[in-house]
Structure 1
């Protein structure tokens, strides 16, 4: 799953990396991104890639906490996700994410950073939509797609974000992509990940992951 991720990149780097032509005013509010916070998200609109800030977590009536993850296995059928999966897919840039080991009897679960070896950025697949908040104001919100853990991630957790490489980004972002190709992409394995144990005295981020 994914309940915290981190991004340390300026607007110029993101525009160049994702080959975005126009230059919006974007910034990264926090190095570590928590649910409900805003972060740069890449979409495709009218045949061009665009980037802007979106809030992390979809809202569901009568559910107090945001839906921050959406399972690849059910994303094409669940009502909350289906319309977004069909036409509103996005890429969530990150340098890496945090995960807490579920394979331990310790009360304080070991925390790890998870990154891609020798890669400047991690491209997590997501979906997005516009929703009203409690005041009635509409905001763009996103959810990170998760899949079953691969071999390296499976050493600490049974799930992980769906991470794409360059060859899959165009397919994922294109609203007109073939459904069968998207279905195959949902099980894409990015390969080896770099896991680093975070010292316990480095600060505590309370674990919050909702994977629907």
Structure 2
């Protein structure tokens, strides 16, 4: 699962890393506490579409919703069932994107039920690229189209199971063109757990448990008093 993210670089710098042209509207950054319904940084592309980085609302809104809260908040999509779900099955064929971040958060519980946050990054220090699906949703009042996105998740690999039973699908640099459709078809095998040595994590302060918290201290290793 993936319920919070951090983007520690300016979005324009992230666009350069992924060789994408920055759109006129990019998410604000750095942002150390990206929450559902916030804008996230997304890379789009395709066989006839130059790679671009733009902002999308985190939380896919199916086309049939009359308003954004007409149903569940779809921040994640299970890769195992994505082809069966009406909200995702067309997107997985035609609207695949990358959700990019510096890291993401997950939680465990202590002996009395307190929520302990962990900050998860790549071991090699590179940005993370999550497999994502997007959907345009037309607002009834203005007729404008809002672009919304969900991140794909799979069963956690062995190390990650110590923190959570699910994890986001991490797309490796060599597979980006295939996931975006730039290099033809056959992206389904990419919907798998990352290798056991790809990710690392450390405890951070419970301050991040609040969706109002901000600042680089949120990702610093937790220091026990």
Match of 2:222 in 1: none
RMSD after superposition: 2.2
Deviation digits for residues 110-140 of structure 1, max 9, x if unmatched?
A: 1111111122301111000101346454200
Secondary structure, aligned partner of 2:112: coil
What whole-Å deviation, never above 9, does each CA across 1:165-194 have from its counterpart, x for those lacking one? 11111111017743xx32211114243321
Of 169, 190, 199, the residue aligned with 1:185 is 190
Match of residue 91 from structure 1? 98
1:74-130 deviations in Å (ceiling 9; x for gaps): 11221110010001000011010010126x543212111111112230111100010
1:187 is paired with a residue whose SS is: coil
Structure 2 residue matching 1:93: 3-state secondary structure = strand
Give the TM-score normalised by structure 2. 0.80
Residue aligned with 2:176, SS: helix
CA distance in 2, matches of 1:140, 1:48: 18
Give the 5 Å matches for 1:1-212: 1-20=1-20, 22-29=21-28, 31=31, 32-45=33-46, 46-60=48-62, 61=65, 63-101=70-108, 104-133=110-139, 135=141, 136-174=143-181, 177-178=184-185, 181-192=186-197, 193-200=199-206, 202-205=207-210
In structure 2, relative to structure 1, the CA distance for the partners of 1:187 and 1:10 (3 Å cut) is: same
Question: Which 5+ residue runs of structure 2 have no aligned equivalent?
Answer: 212-225
Give the gaps of 5 or more residues in structure 1.
207-212
**What is the number of equivalent residue pairs in this alignment?**
201
Assess if the C-alpha contact under 8 Å between 1:95 and 1:122 holds in 2: yes
Number of the residue aligned with 1:209: none
Contact kept in structure 2, 1:87 and 1:175, CA below 8 Å: no
What SS class does the counterpart of residue 163 from structure 1 fall into? Answer: coil
Change (3 A) 1:106 1:164: farther
Compared with structure 1, are the counterparts of its residues 156 and 53 closer, same or farther at alpha carbon in structure 2 (3 Å cutoff)? same
Give yes or no for contact 1:2–1:98 (8 Å, CA) kept in 2: yes
Instruction: Give the Å deviation of 1:65.
Output: 4.4
The answer as to whether partners of 1:127 and 1:142 remain within 8 angstroms in 2 is: yes
Measured after TM superposition, the shift of residue 199 of structure 1 is 2.5
Q: Structure 1 length as normaliser, TM-score?
A: 0.85
